Every structure is written in structure tokens, then in C-alpha cells.
Structure 1
Amino acid sequence: MKRLVLSGALSLGALLPLATQATTLTLPRLFSPGVVLQRDQPMRVWGWDTPGSRVKLGFDGRHVVVVADAQGRWDATLPAHPAGGPYALDVDDGHQHRRVGDVLVGDVWLCSGQSNMEFMVSEGRDAAAEEAKANDPSIRQFKIPHAASSAPLKRLQGGSWVAASPSTVGQFSAVCWFFARDMQVRTHVPQGLVNSSWGGSSIEAWTSARIGHVDVKALVASMRTATAAETAKLDRTRQRLARWPAQHGDVMDAAGKSAWAAAKLDESSWANIAVPAYWETVGYYDMDGIAWYRTQFTLSADEARHGVTLGLGEIDDSDRSYVNGRLIGQTERQWNLPRVYKVPAAALHAGSNTLAIRVDDLGDGGGIHGPASELYVQPQDGARRTLAGTWHFHPAAVTLVPTETREVTPTLLYNAMIHPLEGYPLRGVVWYQGEANALDGNRNALAYRDQFKALISSWRAAWKQPRLPFLWVQLANFKAGEDTADSSPWAELRESQSAALALPATGQAVTIDIGSTETIHPTDKQDVGHRLALVARHVVFGDKVVDAGPVFRAMRVDGAKAVLSFDTQGEALAVRGGGQTVRGFEMAGSDGHYLPAQARIHGATVVVWNTMLPHPTAVRYAWSEDPVDANLVDHVGLPAWPFRTTKPAAPMQMPR
């Protein structure tokens, strides 16, 4: 479901802020039953009322009185309070009374980012077992619904506090749930999770207009232009689909099988389509759902007798593939996985054979895509013959879904999903984002270096907490298909994330060993949450725990070998799986061209060499989007951080 386009339709009505003034006593949605307030910090509470109203607040025997300003807003600060509860927060203006019950005081974490942060417990590893044992009402989540605005909003558009239980925790952010579970074991206090995340979102969308240098008037104008362009594209797609006025899903034959998979079929009503290509790029813009592709390939009698291998390219998202009416393979929800299916002789015959593919697109890009080299028929012991070209195409059950790019449009999510939270006391921020920027290529991955630091600093300024703890997940391993011979956007974005450790009170959890080659959404969120909790214990609470694997410190050249030293927090270097041979290293000479290198642990160092490079100048480790071979760890199993010794990498900072 890779997003193809980073500009397009925007629902302007939903994005333009509305001017409102309270005439009744009103609290932000955060201050609702079940709220978790931050312990040991002054408790800031705010709201709205008729201008000039005297508002009295009471909490656990403490009281404060404030006056609503000319715009009707009031701000109050209650004394710092230790962990505990439940309590009640009472707010009264002499005419109206609001009581917020079931209030807990503990640690509050803002959990933000894109889909791997939004990814729910119900979608993860061992979901049923995790849900069954999640009966802990002292851990609570406030899920902020998706919202966007061209100007900062004062109020959230929705949300409520939900206590963890077997029936509710499935909807919690998995990363933040497992993080909070560990943190509660450490602190023995309630945990509040403010979940402000949006799948596919870019860092630009979470950055204020001022920090992101956004011209708001120009932004609104471009949104209007994009909406008009989107409407025109949708109209053209509707015109194409008009040739098939009735779409009822798969057409079945008398035997109850898919008729469009048959070896022989009247294809006169079918359209021609270029393969490989996302169907959005060849005339079917913003189309989601089910469509069929058909083509033919020719075999000799000998080739048919021995069976063949079919390469069907990358299919977004799911496929069922047939040869001569026989199902020869199917894959579910793997938008960027090349399909390679063995076809037995029983499904083949000499002469023309029919290939039919049912594609089910769940959103964003759809169809048969990827490099043309991935589309082929290969006889046993024979050369590949391409299947790329013009195929026949027929939608079966589709809908048109306008491309919404609010989540990648600068400042829109910040305005609607972060700005209304500003000032709500927090223990810290937990961040998992970056995939959208890495998928945008090398230039954007390097730009992230400054963008990420700016976001952290600006959020801290908004909360008036220059050392507000900010923790994040470094991008996990994944076969994104973005690597080239000269660059790796994912590795470069990881480096950009690590550069933010130069800021105080920051920390990162490295996950290059617990991602998934096949999916951008790995299901192991338990280990992610646990590693984040280790970082929080070190950075936030000062615990003497090992929270990071080996971190590169320095390189010296000894003849034809590079000798690397690391910070290990006192742990010995080790190899995952045992032994002394380390994989995942590359080495370059004066020409800057990297070659795979051999490496071994030697005491507290790693020695790296390549016999073809007598004068090494640079080394890099785990420098790819999916460094599955990288196996350097410490004795507690935490992975070494990816690095390169050449600029722009700077010495990494250990978590503080």
C-alpha cells in the first residue's frame, strides 16, 4: 500500500479553523473522566467560560481561583501532587459546575509518529494472549482522532480516556502499551498515554508553520489548487470506468469458480494496461478494490513438460494467480514483495498458456508494479522471458477514494493534534516516525537531520520545558526497495535520527534486528517497547541499566586493517549466535567505493579488513535498509548501532 503521491486532494472545509467563543464552562477533552495527570509537577489546567468569569478549581483539598480573559480562556495551576488516585477535579464558576472523576496521578507520555506508533496491540505478535492478560486500569490511553488544520487549533476534535482491560487494550498503541507496562513495573505509578499518531505521516506534518518555514496563505492556495486537480483526475477515472457500468465482484462460472481465471475467455470488453505500473499511474487514479489482469505466454512441449517459474512482479496488496484456470499461488497484504511461483507441468501445455491474476488493493497504490525484470516466465534450466508489456485489464469491484495527503502536508497535523495539547504536563515524548521521509529518497533522509532536531526543540519550547525527555525508535530493518549502489535512504535517515542525540535528555531504541524484511509493520512491538523502557530508565530516571548496544567511537588504521573501538556501557562485545566473526561491515579505499569486509572481535575492538583494499580509509556497518546479516551485539543482546566513519556522520552520543 505504498503511497505514490505526496500531493493531492485536501478537504479544505475540515482544514480551515473555526472561530468559537465559549459561553459555558468548558474543559479540554483531555480533562475528562479517567484522565491521568503528571505527578510531581505543577498541574496546569485550562478551559473556557464567559469572559470575566471567576473560575474556582479544586483537587484533593487544594484550590485556586482564576478569571477568564477577554477571549473567554482561563488558565490555572494547581500544586504539584504525588502519584495516586483516584481523585476528582472540580471546576466551578458560581453558575456551573464540572466534576471530572476517576482522576489518576502518575506519569504521562505523549506517543506520536506514524503507523508503527499507531499500530495496535490487536495487530501485533501474540495479540490474543497479550489482550487476555492486560487487565490493568492504571494504564490508560487517550487516542486523538485523525485531524488536520491549516492554522493552530485550540481544541482537540475528539478523544477520551480508556483504561486498559482485555476488551480495550487491543486498540492501544502497541509500542506505547508495552513501553508503559515496563515503566509501571519500574515506577509503580499510573501511566497515561496520549496517542497522537497518524499512519504514513511525514515529519513536516508534525512541525509548526514557524519552525517549518511554512507560508500559510500559500499553503491554503496550494491546497485549493490540489483539490481542483484531484477532482479533475477523479473525473477522468470515472470516464474510464464507465465502460463497465456494472461491477459485482468476481464473475463465477457454473462450477462456482472464478470465470475470469479460465484458460479461455472473451476479453473483448477488457481494457489494455501497461504492466508493470501502479494502475493509478496509467489511467485509474484513486481506484481501490479488486481488478483482474490477463496475459498469455508460449511454451514448447518440452518446457511445458518440465514446469516453469513465474515472476509476477510486486503486487499491491494481495493476489491470487492462475495459470490455465488453476490457482498456482497467492499472497496476502505484501505490497512490495515480488511474487515468484512455481508452476507444475500439470497446469501447463504446449503453445499458448493463460495467466490471470486477481489483485486486491486495500488503499493507496494498486496493481502489478516493480521493476520489469521481476516479470518473467522461466523454463526449467532455461533463460527468463519477459512478461512485461501490454496486458488485459478489468475492474471487478472498485471504489474511488480521493487521495488525502493531510498526513504529509506541512504543519497540518501539528496544528490539530499537537498544538491543542501544549502545556499539558508530561513526563516525556515517545516518537516512532521516519519511514515516510526515508521512502521519499536520499535527499529527504539527509534533510531529516535538521528537521528532527528542530521538531524536538520546538515541542520543548511549546511546553516551556527545555529538557523535556524525548525518546524515539530508530527505523527497523525492512526491504523498502530504496537502496541503490550509491545510497541507502533508510540508513541515512537512521543516521539523521542518531544525530539528534546531541540534544540533552534524548535517547533512541535501535531496532535493526527486530524488524521484518517483508513488512514495514513488524509485529514484534514487545521488544520495541522494552528497549524504549530501558532508554527511559536511563535518560529520564537515571537508572544504571544497559540501554544501548555497542556505539562506534573511533577508528584507527593499522596497516591494511581498520581497528574500531566502541562504547559498550561496560558490556563485552559479542556476536549474535556466538563466535568472533562479525558480519555487516563494509570497507572503502581512497576511491570511496565500498566492498564487503571481514571482521572479528579482538578484545574490546573489532578488526575489519578486505584483502583487495591495502589502504582502507572508511568503514561502515549495517549500512542498508535491511541489514539482516549485521550481528554485532553486546553481552545482553542489544544490537550495535549502524554507523559510517565518513562525513556527515559525527561521533554518536550515548543516551543521557
Structure 2
Amino acid sequence: MKHSVKYIASLLAMLYMGAMECDAKVTLPRILSPGMVVQREHPVVLWGKADPGETVTVKITDSRNKTVGPRKGISVTAGDDGQWRAEYSELKAGGPYTITINDITIDNVLSGDVYLFSGQSNIDLTVGRVTDMFADEIASYSNDKIRHFNVPNAYEFHQPLDDVKNCTWQPTTDEQLMAFSALAYFFSKELNERTGLPVGIIRSSWGGTPIESWIKEERLAEFPGLVNKKRIYEDDAYRNRINQLAGESSARRQSLLYATDPGLHDAVKWYEPAFDDSDWPTVEIPSGSVTDGTIAGDDIHCGWKAADGWATDGLNPVNGSHWFRKTVSLPSSMAGKPGLLRLGCIVDADSVYVNGTFVGTVSYQYPPRKYPIPAGLLKEGDNQITIRLFSNGGRANFVPEKPYKLIAGDEEINLEGAWKYHRGAVVPPVQGGVSFNYIPAVLYNAMIHPIINYPVNGVVWYQGESNVDTRNSYTYMLKTLMDSWRADFNDRDMPFYIVELADFLHKDDRGGRAAWAEMRRNQAEAAKSTHNAYLVPNSDLGEWNDIHPLDKKTVGHRVVEAVIKHNEIKK
């Protein structure tokens, strides 16, 4: 009986393994997917996983279902580790093509020019954020010859990854457009118009991240402090505890922010029109004075110092909630219409009410405040606008020289000037956790290494704002990144188009502006001393009060000019 049981178990195991072998399928990285754009004048590189020793057959057909390249395609064998790689003959620009890999079909493939856009938030800045300046040009734009692959944000401490999280190639349609990188959009739109070729954009960027996060660990050996910084956080359990404690601290602070704010618990809430604010003092919005560059860095926002009255206790910032109310008288021509409330930019966060109705919130300082007001909410005569501002760490303020107005129909009311003010809850500053995406090498592992097999026509690099304080090493770091990526992409001539940092900080913030100017010189030196590296001028396009200038069209045009010039030289 024992023998028969063993025999049956062995037989079942063999049958199971056989079924597994029959069901085994080739798998592909997510970047090899329908709608992708492959680099013209370059072999089509395909790779993935299969069972060790499995034969992988690749075949490409054009729009007429005619085979491109070898009639039977090409075949490769998966190695002992299950990895396989195939290089197919280059495809003529255009398409669409269909790629068949065993039982997998990748359709709607175009051949054109592919560019990797990487860096920090000025790459991330979306089309939706620049509609104030380019609304007409953006409206309803659609172009199937331009496709974007947005690498999801991720970090990895232990080893370079082979694939990214869920992601697919997206066409440039009005449904997808607002989420695309504005710089990549204007670049690809103009490049397509001038060349007629399909354009593929791979965006791999993350706001606020320093350059060392994008460099592989082996290339950081000359910076032992950076390597050891990574070592500190390599233990998963330790990082989880940090996240857990940071989350608990944040939850406790939020609880106090609500529980101790009288504006939310008085019999008449401070955002309700019936609340009597007659005894509240009056403050100016926006208010403050330009610094002379002698104030400590923590006291400066864009070179502008907030008035001490409401934002501080006379010396230090007051964190927590600050309430502002303004009564606005509207004519009958604006009453009942849907409106738009523009409240510039606010440091740090806010919730806003109109006539006691909540109309919107933003959780951090950079996005412009644009709050739609539903039809029927505005009335003739007095209307009440209330802002509950949240200060999380530094000095709270309303950024000057931004739009502060109420719009309904063709009319608008200026909201700058006197507002009623009262302090709400006073709580400690946010106890920040660790931004693990800022740690050296972790973004290279998760967001660059998975795509190094994918041929590109160049890299657009817009980064450096987060390295101004370490600018003395930036030239070397950028040259290291370029050399490392070229080796990993197996393209020693891969062009880099380095976007110069935009102008930033008020003219009277002499210390800050000098630091940014030095950073630009370091960018220029890296470009000048590196083969096929080009500095794209951008310092004339900035906004002193916004680290994310809106004019991404002009800089996109300049990147196109650099690309075309390089291609002419190459020919």
C-alpha cells in the first residue's frame, strides 16, 4: 500500500510538472507592449523570460501583413536562467507593425524616434498645469503618432529590477493629454511636426529627487557617504518601522489639528456665512517684503519673507491652521453663474469654502489654486470666501505676484488686499519621515535599469534643483551618470540634452541667486566636457516666485533645436 501511494504521488508530480511545461509561456517586460514606438535605424531589441532552453521565435509583419526581415522570423534560445534576448532587423520609419513572439502579439507598433525624459519635478510638471499659458494650443490636441510611456514611481534598495510596475504605452489624445509631461508634450509635438516621424517618449522622473538617486551604486564608490546613506536603510523591516512611526506621528498631528481648531467646533463654524468675524484683525493677502539675502535660508520662500504678523509669533513660524475670511460683493450679472476661484499658490496647504460650501483643497504648496464654483452658489450682493490654511513646517504665506481673483462669466473680482484673520489650531511642525526615493541608487534600480535594453535616440535630463546645496560635486556626478547610462544602454554615443536650471528667486536674494548661478555653470561644464552632451539654455524662462515655470513650450522648442542640430552633425 505504501509503495502504491508513493507511486501515485510520483505520477501526480510528473503530470503536474508536464502540465507546467506545456503551459509555460514567454513573458515580456511591460515596455514591450502594444502601441510602443521603437527606434528607427536601429535593430529592434526584444527580451524577456521563458523556461530554460525554450525556443523563442520572433516575427514582424507590416500593415499589409507582409513579413519584415527573415520570412520565418528569427529564433533564440532561453538561457539557463530563463533569460532571452533577440535583435531583429531595423524597421522603416512609420508603421503600424505587428510583432509576434511565440504566442504573444504586440500590435500597433510604430518606428520613429524615441527619447528618455528624466529628472525631477520640471519633467513631471503636467500639461494640465500649464493650461493658463497654452490653453488654445492644448485644447483637443490628438496625435496617434506621439506615444508616451510613463514609468511609475518606485524605488528599490536591494538590486536592479528587470521590469517596472503596471504601465502601458499611451497615445497623445485629449483623454490622456493632461497627465503627460508638459515639456515632453511640447517637444514631441514640435519634433513630429518638423520631421513627420512618430515620436516615443519614455518618462522616468520623480519630483524633488537628487541626482545620486539616479546613479547605480557601483558608480558611487568615490562617494562613501552616499553609499553608507543607502546602507542605513537597506533593511526592509527598519524602513517599515520608520514608515509606521511617521504615519502614526502624522495621524496624531492631524487628529490634534482637527480637535483643537475652534473654527471647526464653535457653534457657528468659521467658514459659515453667519459667523461674526467683526472682532478679527485685518491682514493683507498676499503680504510681506522682499528679503535682502541676509536672512537664514529657512526664513526665505523664493526670496520673499512673509510678514511676521500672522505667520509667526514674532520670531518663529506658527504651524497649524490659519483662517482667512473675505466678504465680496457681486453684481447681479455674476450671480448664479458657475465661477472659478483663483488663489495663487499657498504655503503649505489649504481648504476653501464659498458661502459655507467646500469648493476645494490642495495638499502641498506648488500647484496653482484653481477651485471651480458650482452654478447657483454665487449670489448678488455679499458672498463669503473662507480659507483654512495649513502650515506644516516653515513659514506660511500666500505667494505674491500670482492671480488672486474670483471669476464668473466675463467678469472678475480682485481678491488681493484686506482679509479678516484668526489663528486656529497651533500644533508642532510635521515630523518628517525619510523620503526613501531620495536615497542614492534606488531610482536607478527601479526606474532606469528596467528599460536599459530599450534603444533610445537620446536623453533629456532636467534636474538639479535638489542638488544646489551640493553643487560642488554636481559636474562630476552628472558626468558619472551620463557615462554610466551610456554603458548600460550599450550606446557610448547616446546624446544627452541637459536643460539648464530656470531663473529662480527674487533679485534681492543675492545669496540664493549666486548659488543657482554656480549650479548652472556646473551643468554647463558637464555638457562642455562630455562628448554628445548639449546644454539647453533655460535661465531666461524662469519665474522668481515659482520653481516650476510654466513656459515649457519654449524650452521644448530649444530641446528640439538641439536634437536637430545633433542629427545634422551626425549625418
The normalised TM-score by structure 1 is: 0.59
Aligned residues of 2:264 and 2:270 also touching (Cα < 8 A):
no
Summarize the Cα distance change of 1:170–1:239 in structure 2 as closer, same or farther, 3 Å threshold: closer
Aligned residues of 1:277 and 1:369 also touching (Cα < 8 A):
no
Q: Please state how far the C-alpha of 1:132 moved relative to its aligned partner.
A: 2.4
Summarize the Cα distance change of 1:44–1:226 in structure 2 as closer, same or farther, 3 Å threshold: closer
Q: Give the alignment partner of residue 119 of structure 1, picking from 125, 129, 137.
A: 125
Q: Please state how far the C-alpha of 1:516 moved relative to its aligned partner.
A: 0.8
Name 1:141's counterpart in structure 2. 148
Deviation per residue, 1:18-63 (Å, 9 max, x gap): xxx9953111111111010000011110011111110000113231
Q: Is 1:473 aligned with 2:504?
A: no
Name 1:526's counterpart in structure 2. 553
Q: Please state how far the C-alpha of 1:405 moved relative to its aligned partner.
A: 1.0
Name 1:411's counterpart in structure 2. 441
Aligned residues of 2:249 and 2:431 also touching (Cα < 8 A):
no
Q: Is 1:105 aligned with 2:111?
A: yes
**Equivalent AA in structure 2 for residue 499 of structure 1:** E
Summarize the Cα distance change of 1:173–1:226 in structure 2 as closer, same or farther, 3 Å threshold: same
Summarize the Cα distance change of 1:315–1:85 in structure 2 as closer, same or farther, 3 Å threshold: closer
Name 2:411's counterpart in structure 1. none
After superposition, where does 1:220-619 map in structure 2 within 5 Å? Answer: 220-221=233-234, 228=241, 231-232=244-245, 235=248, 246=259, 250=264, 252-253=268-269, 256-257=272-273, 263=279, 277=316, 291-292=321-322, 316-317=347-348, 335=365, 358-360=388-390, 365=393, 368=396, 393-394=424-425, 403=433, 405-438=435-468, 441=469, 444-479=470-505, 485=511, 488-501=514-527, 502-542=529-569
Summarize the Cα distance change of 1:278–1:43 in structure 2 as closer, same or farther, 3 Å threshold: farther
Name 2:74's counterpart in structure 1. 64
Higher helix share: 2
Q: Give the alignment partner of residue 131 of structure 1, picking from 138, 162, 166.
A: 138
Partners of 1:319 and 1:220 in 2: how far apart? 33
Of 226-235 and 109-118, the range deviating more from structure 2: 226-235
Partners of 2:134 and 2:489 in 1: how far apart? 35
Aligned residues of 1:276 and 1:368 also touching (Cα < 8 A):
no
Q: Please state how far the C-alpha of 1:403 moved relative to its aligned partner.
A: 3.8
Q: Please state how far the C-alpha of 1:406 moved relative to its aligned partner.
A: 2.6
Summarize the Cα distance change of 1:487–1:247 in structure 2 as closer, same or farther, 3 Å threshold: closer
Name 2:48's counterpart in structure 1. 47
Deviation per residue, 1:81-105 (Å, 9 max, x gap): 220100100000xxxx000000000
Name 1:591's counterpart in structure 2. none
Name 1:218's counterpart in structure 2. 231
Deviation per residue, 1:139-164 (Å, 9 max, x gap): 01011111110121011112111111
SS at match of 2:35: coil
Q: Please state how far the C-alpha of 1:487 moved relative to its aligned partner.
A: 7.6
Report how many aligned residue pairs link the two structures. 432
Name 1:178's counterpart in structure 2. 186
Q: Please state how far the C-alpha of 1:122 moved relative to its aligned partner.
A: 1.4
Summarize the Cα distance change of 1:238–1:162 in structure 2 as closer, same or farther, 3 Å threshold: closer
Q: Please state how far the C-alpha of 1:173 moved relative to its aligned partner.
A: 1.0
Q: Give the alignment partner of residue 75 of structure 1, picking from 75, 82, 85.
A: 85
Deviation per residue, 1:440-471 (Å, 9 max, x gap): x2xx0121111001001100010111110110
Name 2:166's counterpart in structure 1. 158
Aligned residues of 2:246 and 2:432 also touching (Cα < 8 A):
no
Deviation per residue, 1:555-580 (Å, 9 max, x gap): xxxxxxxxxxxxxxxxxxxxxxxxxx
Tell me how large the CA RMSD over aligned residues is: 3.9
Percent identical = 30
Partners of 1:367 and 1:43 in 2: how far apart? 53
Partners of 1:422 and 1:483 in 2: how far apart? 41
**Equivalent AA in structure 2 for residue 422 of structure 1:** I
**Equivalent AA in structure 2 for residue 88 of structure 1:** T
Aligned residues of 2:393 and 2:430 also touching (Cα < 8 A):
no
Q: Please state how far the C-alpha of 1:540 moved relative to its aligned partner.
A: 3.0
The normalised TM-score by structure 2 is: 0.67
Partners of 2:312 and 2:254 in 1: how far apart? 13
Summarize the Cα distance change of 1:256–1:182 in structure 2 as closer, same or farther, 3 Å threshold: same
**Equivalent AA in structure 2 for residue 145 of structure 1:** P
Q: Give the alignment partner of residue 198 of structure 1, picking from 206, 221, 235.
A: 206
Name 1:605's counterpart in structure 2. none
Summarize the Cα distance change of 1:242–1:185 in structure 2 as closer, same or farther, 3 Å threshold: closer
**Equivalent AA in structure 2 for residue 99 of structure 1:** T
Return the structure number with greater relative CO, CA threshold 8 A, min gap 6: 2
Summarize the Cα distance change of 1:72–1:182 in structure 2 as closer, same or farther, 3 Å threshold: same
Partners of 1:468 and 1:255 in 2: how far apart? 57
Aligned residues of 1:508 and 1:532 also touching (Cα < 8 A):
no
SS at match of 2:96: strand
Partners of 2:538 and 2:43 in 1: how far apart? 35
Aligned residues of 1:202 and 1:408 also touching (Cα < 8 A):
yes
Aligned residues of 2:59 and 2:74 also touching (Cα < 8 A):
yes
SS at match of 1:503: coil
- Alignment gaps of 5+ in structure 1: 1-20, 266-271, 285-290, 295-313, 322-330, 338-355, 371-390, 545-656
Summarize the Cα distance change of 1:368–1:104 in structure 2 as closer, same or farther, 3 Å threshold: same
**Equivalent AA in structure 2 for residue 113 of structure 1:** G
Partners of 1:44 and 1:336 in 2: how far apart? 40
Summarize the Cα distance change of 1:168–1:392 in structure 2 as closer, same or farther, 3 Å threshold: closer
Name 2:11's counterpart in structure 1. none
Partners of 2:247 and 2:279 in 1: how far apart? 34
**Equivalent AA in structure 1 for residue 39 of structure 2:** Q
Partners of 1:107 and 1:254 in 2: how far apart? 56
Q: Is 1:85 aligned with 2:95?
A: yes
**Equivalent AA in structure 2 for residue 31 of structure 1:** L
SS at match of 1:465: coil
Partners of 1:518 and 1:118 in 2: how far apart? 19
Summarize the Cα distance change of 1:369–1:38 in structure 2 as closer, same or farther, 3 Å threshold: same
Summarize the Cα distance change of 1:458–1:358 in structure 2 as closer, same or farther, 3 Å threshold: same
Partners of 2:315 and 2:109 in 1: how far apart? 56
**Equivalent AA in structure 2 for residue 39 of structure 1:** R
Partners of 1:258 and 1:366 in 2: how far apart? 32
Summarize the Cα distance change of 1:245–1:26 in structure 2 as closer, same or farther, 3 Å threshold: same
SS at match of 1:201: coil
**Equivalent AA in structure 1 for residue 549 of structure 2:** P
Moved over 6 A (4+): 331-334, 398-402
Deviation per residue, 1:611-656 (Å, 9 max, x gap): xxxxxxxxxxxxxxxxxxxxxxxxxxxxxxxxxxxxxxxxxxxxxx
Partners of 1:460 and 1:359 in 2: how far apart? 47
Q: Is 1:30 aligned with 2:31?
A: yes
Name 1:169's counterpart in structure 2. 177
Deviation per residue, 1:587-613 (Å, 9 max, x gap): xxxxxxxxxxxxxxxxxxxxxxxxxxx
